[in-house]
């Protein structure tokens, strides 16, 4: 709080004693009584100087401190910890076996191509880089998919997965007023924030069954059936975050049946294509199933994980429509919504994707690197399961860890147990019991198993 000292005047005395000067508002008689009798005093009327505090209150005084982000805040706490055994299993970012960040070789090669070509940094169109939009739609739906040949997909480059979801939420709020989005329980921590910020109403459908640490498929189907007709159903295309639990191909068919029956609109979040199973086609099979049925749908894409382009903020929103005319109109409105948000997207990551996916050699090399990354996560997943099984003494079935897929594992630990993992064992994770296996090395599996066993059995 700022304050300014202001002078104020009133009659007073200027006192001279042996050549010294003092200023103040004083009682002259009291002053004289306290002086040495030999002092030479000269009294002169002067102005009194008073200090008055003028207080300025900030216009932002009413703004409270926001709570730390439940995911990104984990990394901040991890950095502040000086314990040498600490593990950061919070943020979903791939690490090497030495737990270091990894830049893909194909990314380096794509960047070298950009330097060789001397490409400039001019603004992109609002919809993004044309070459990027083309290859990203082909990667998602398959290059030979009729919906692409018929120009029924509106693709707009956006700011990774979060920005793509936010742009889609703005489209829903403006052109489907009152429509509700159904979100899985649990889901990625930022989904609810995105729809809240866009003022789109949402509710949850059952997904996770704590008794089996598996999918509550019957509850999921019942809740989708009970939703108001025309709702948007948010689905994780593969490697469900945070649980790592995906429907089977047969269950995906049933989900599509119910969504069609209720005239709902499927809305996919695809953040791990190729990074979950190691196969780009397998990880896109759920989206392609719905598109093949002739359904209109939305798909948000991200290249943060599968190309390691976390900081480049590169992704896209795709809207599949029944006609090319509808797709053109939707794309025009997506551009209109993007313009006041961020004007146009960044070019660097878009060129990397266009170079990698558009070049047969780099594309094949990328697939090999994805298989390597997915394989490392599968290896630590198996080793963690083996360690838990050997250390557990109650016969608990830990096989759910092997049934899960992708970079995350939902351990089934509650909030108190998760806090014990951090406070006692220096294992940083989200409070819902989710751990990122991408941040785990084979050498640390036994230590993590010890922490989980202790937290599971000794903390209620």
Q: Are residues 265 and 305 in the same domain?
A: yes
Exactly one of 202, 216, 305, 366 is catalytic; name it. Answer: 305
Q: Which residues contact 389 (CB under 8 A, 6 or more apart)?
A: 398
Q: Are residues 253 and 163 in the same domain?
A: yes
Q: Write phi, then psi, for 215 (nearest 5 degrees).
A: -85, 130
Q: Are residues 276 and 201 in the same domain?
A: yes
* 47: enclosing H helix or E strand: strand 41-56
Question: Tens-of-pLDDT digits for all 460 residues of the chain?
Answer: 444 444 444 444 343 444 444 444 444 444 444 444 444 444 555 555 566 566 789 999 999 999 878 777 788 889 999 999 999 999 889 999 999 999 999 999 999 999 999 999 999 999 999 999 999 999 999 999 999 999 999 999 999 999 999 999 999 999 999 999 999 999 998 999 999 999 999 999 999 999 888 999 999 999 999 999 999 999 999 999 999 999 999 999 999 999 999 999 999 999 999 988 999 999 999 999 999 999 999 999 999 999 999 999 999 999 999 999 999 999 999 999 999 999 999 999 999 999 999 999 999 999 999 999 999 999 999 999 999 999 877 778 999 999 999 999 999 899 999 999 999 999 999 898 999 999 999 999 999 999 999 999 999 7
Does 269 participate in catalysis according to the annotation? yes
Q: Are residues 260 and 382 in the same domain?
A: no
For residues 260 and 206, the answer to whether their CB atoms sit within 8 Å is no
Q: Per residue in 155-169, pLDDT tens?
A: 999 999 999 999 999
The beta-carbon contacts of 176-179 under 8 Å, at least 24 apart in sequence, are 176/230, 176/232, 179/230, 179/231, 179/232
Exactly one of 188, 202, 366, 398 is catalytic; name it. Answer: 188
Q: Which residues contact 394 (CB under 8 A, 6 or more apart)?
A: 457
Q: Per residue in 9-35, pLDDT tens?
A: 444 434 344 444 444 444 444 444 444
Exactly one of 216, 223, 246, 269 is catalytic; name it. Answer: 269
Q: Is residue 365 part of a domain?
A: no
> Read out DSSP for 329-389?
HHHHHHHHHHHHHHSS--SHHHHHHHHHHH-HHHHHHHHHHHHHHHHHHHHHHHHHHHHHH
Beta bridge pairs of residue 267 = 234, 298
Does 252 participate in catalysis according to the annotation? no
Q: Write phi, then psi, for 30 (nearest 5 degrees).
A: -65, -35
Q: Per residue in 446-458, pLDDT tens?
A: 999 999 999 999 9
Does 216 participate in catalysis according to the annotation? no
Q: Are residues 396 and 422 in the same domain?
A: yes
Q: Are residues 84 and 47 in the same domain?
A: no
- CATH number, position 97: 3.90.1150.10
Distance CA 152, CA 296 (A): 9
Q: If DSSP codes are grouped into helix, strand and coil, which group holds residue 280?
A: helix
Q: Are residues 177 and 83 in the same domain?
A: no
Task: Tokens for 139, please give them.
Answer: 């990667």
Query: pTM of the predicted model, to two decimals?
Result: 0.85
For residues 409 and 381, the answer to whether their CB atoms sit within 8 Å is yes
Domain finish residue from 336, 358, 380: 358
Q: Where are the alpha helices (DSSP H) in 90-159?
A: 105-117, 130-141, 146-149
Q: Are residues 349 and 397 in the same domain?
A: no
Domain that holds residue 269: 123-358
Distance CA 163, CA 303 (A): 12
Q: Are residues 181 and 139 in the same domain?
A: yes
Distance CA 153, CA 296 (A): 9
Domain total in the chain: 3
């Amino acid at each position: 709080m700022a304050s300014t000292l202001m002078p104020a005047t009133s009659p007073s005395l200027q006192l001279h004693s042996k050549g010294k000067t003092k200023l103040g508002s004083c009682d002259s008689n009291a002053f004289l009584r306290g002086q040495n009798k030999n002092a030479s005093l000269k009294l002169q009327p002067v102005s009194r100087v008073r200090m008055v505090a003028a207080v300025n209150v900030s216009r932002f005084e009413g703004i409270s401190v926001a709570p730390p982000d439940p995911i990104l805040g984990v990394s901040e706490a991890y950095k502040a910890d000086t314990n040498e055994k600490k593990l950061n299993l919070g943020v979903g970012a791939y690490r090497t076996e030495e737990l270091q960040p990894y830049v893909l070789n194909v990314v380096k090669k794509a960047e070298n191509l950009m330097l060789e070509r001397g490409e400039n940094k001019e603004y992109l169109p609002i919809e993004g880089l044309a070459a990027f939009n083309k290859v990203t739609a082909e990667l998602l739906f398959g290059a030979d998919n009729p919906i692409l040949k018929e120009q029924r997909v509106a693709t707009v480059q956006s700011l990774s997965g979060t920005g793509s979801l936010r742009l889609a939420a703005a489209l829903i709020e403006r052109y489907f007023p009152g429509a509700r989005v159904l979100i899985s329980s649990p889901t990625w921590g930022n989904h609810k924030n995105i729809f809240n910020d866009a003022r789109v109403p949402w509710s949850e459908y059952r997904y996770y069954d704590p008794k089996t640490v598996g999918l509550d498929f019957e509850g999921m189907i019942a809740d989708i059936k009970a939703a108001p007709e025309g709702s948007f159903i948010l689905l994780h295309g593969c490697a469900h975050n945070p649980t790592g639990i995906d429907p089977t191909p047969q269950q995906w068919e049933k989900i599509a049946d119910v969504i069609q029956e209720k005239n709902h609109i499927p809305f996919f979040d695809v953040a791990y294509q190729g990074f979950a199973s190691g196969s780009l086609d397998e990880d896109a099979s759920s989206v392609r199933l719905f598109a093949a049925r002739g359904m209109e749908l939305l798909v948000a894409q991200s290249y943060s994980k599968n190309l390691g382009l976390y900081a480049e903020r590169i992704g896209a929103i795709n809207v599949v429509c029944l006609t090319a005319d509808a797709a053109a109109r939707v794309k025009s409105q997506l551009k209109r919504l993007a313009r006041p948000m961020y004007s146009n997207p960044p070019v660097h990551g878009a060129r990397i994707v266009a170079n990698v996916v558009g070049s047969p050699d780099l594309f094949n090399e990328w697939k090999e690197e994805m298989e390597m990354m997915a394989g490392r996560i599968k290896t630590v997943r198996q080793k963690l399961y083996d360690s838990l099984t050997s250390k557990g003494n109650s016969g608990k079935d830990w096989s759910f860890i092997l049934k899960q897929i992708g970079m995350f594992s939902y351990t089934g630990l509650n909030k108190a147990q998760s806090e014990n993992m951090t406070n006692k064992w220096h294992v940083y994770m989200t409070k819902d019991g989710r751990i990122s296996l991408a941040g785990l090395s084979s050498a640390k599996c036994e230590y993590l198993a010890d922490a989980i066993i202790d937290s599971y059995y000794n903390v209620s």
